[in-house]
Amino acid sequence: MIVSLELPSEDHYRGFQDLALKKLGLSLGSGKGYLLQGRLQRRMSKLGLDDYGDYLRLISSDSGEEELQHFVNAITTTKTDFFREREHFDWLSQEIFPSIKQSHLESGRKKIRLWSAGCSSGQEAYSLGMIALDSFRDQLDSDIDLRILGTDVNTEALSIAQAGIYPSEAMSSLGDKPAAPYFRPMMLPEKRVSQAETALTKLIEFRKVNLIQKNYPIATKFDVILCRNVLYYFDPVPRQEVLERLSSYLIDGGWLVLSLTEIGYEVSGLTKVRGHLFRRDCR
């Protein structure tokens, strides 16, 4: 049954705002009922619901956990591209990865761990994988253990990331970076796509992680954490909590990379190298 939704009332919109803040740390802002209407139309139609109050009660209830995930998928932004904000990847490959290589050589540490936090449909993690393979190829032939973690709260986006299959038009954001040998073209029914090669997929693990949760199901610390174009959707208080929590997952001397537009933050234990780049102090 196709349900035609009106705009949510102010009371209903505030209810969704409160839920998004509580469950995700997200600030939906005000005056955006039309966005909520557009994003919930499909889900509520599928459930045969035309009342926002009924839907809000469902996803707020103990029995509505599965539908709550659909709500999360609907309201979270998944805009991404390969090598988005390319200067970060240039900076990583030209400055940070060589310094990591040198520090690992001096310390004898064998593990290199990179984290794409808020990876959406995976393009950031795969971009990170491509430049990491280029940078550490010689070390991988010896005994360096390189791994990349990609996490997001949106399970639909994670499914795309885990499959590693992208339409041909998405590959245009690679720019002058050749897709081979990291992606191979293939033909699906009426659609040309590219699929990540084994060299990439065996390097990257994708998991669901809600950045607002108090304890992440992660047992390692990272040389580099990318958390870009994520935190400006957060309310200020949970945003700062997430920043502090992410900093605790960095090794001494590790790097936290935010979006080019995510500036003005301070994080205890981290030194701001540029407006959006932080390094963990060595203790």
| Residue pLDDT tens, the chain, 283 long | 555 788 999 999 999 999 999 999 999 988 889 999 999 999 999 999 999 999 999 999 999 999 999 999 999 988 999 999 999 999 999 999 999 988 887 888 889 999 999 999 999 999 999 999 999 988 777 778 999 999 999 999 999 999 999 998 899 888 878 788 899 998 888 889 999 999 999 999 999 999 999 999 999 999 999 999 999 899 999 999 999 999 999 999 999 999 999 998 999 999 999 889 999 987 6
Classify 252 as helix, strand or coil: strand
Contact 222, 115 (CB under 8 A): yes
- What local confidence, expressed as pLDDT, does residue 246 receive? 97
- What local confidence, expressed as pLDDT, does residue 222 receive? 98
- Strands laid side by side in the 111-117 sheet: 204-208, 145-152, 111-117, 222-226, 250-257, 277-280, 270-274
For residue 4, is it within any domain? no
- What local confidence, expressed as pLDDT, does residue 3 receive? 57
Q: Are residues 71 and 92 in the same domain?
A: no
For residue 268, is it within any domain? yes
For residue 5, is it within any domain? no
Q: What is the pTM of this model?
A: 0.94
CATH number for the domain harbouring residue 21: 1.10.155.10
- Residue at a domain's end among 20, 42, 75: 75
- What local confidence, expressed as pLDDT, does residue 132 receive? 95
- What local confidence, expressed as pLDDT, does residue 2 receive? 53
Q: Are residues 57 and 144 in the same domain?
A: no
Beta bridge partners, 77, equal none
Q: Are residues 111 and 208 in the same domain?
A: yes
Alpha-helical segments (H) within 141-235: 155-163, 198-201
- What local confidence, expressed as pLDDT, does residue 283 receive? 67
Q: Are residues 192 and 235 in the same domain?
A: yes
For residue 27, is it within any domain? yes
Count of domains forming the chain: 2
Q: Are residues 19 and 157 in the same domain?
A: no
- What local confidence, expressed as pLDDT, does residue 107 receive? 83
CATH number for the domain harbouring residue 239: 3.40.50.150
- What local confidence, expressed as pLDDT, does residue 30 receive? 86
Q: Are residues 17 and 157 in the same domain?
A: no
For residue 169, is it within any domain? yes
Q: Are residues 46 and 176 in the same domain?
A: no
Q: Are residues 64 and 91 in the same domain?
A: no
- What local confidence, expressed as pLDDT, does residue 138 receive? 80
For residue 2, is it within any domain? no
- What local confidence, expressed as pLDDT, does residue 175 receive? 81
- What local confidence, expressed as pLDDT, does residue 117 receive? 98
For residue 113, is it within any domain? yes
CB atoms within 10 A of CB 32: 13
Q: Which residues touch 120 (CB under 8 Å, ≥6 apart)?
A: 78, 79, 80, 152, 154, 157, 161
- What local confidence, expressed as pLDDT, does residue 4 receive? 72
Classify 244 as helix, strand or coil: helix
Range(s) of the domain holding residue 66: 10-75
Q: Are residues 176 and 198 in the same domain?
A: yes
For residue 3, is it within any domain? no
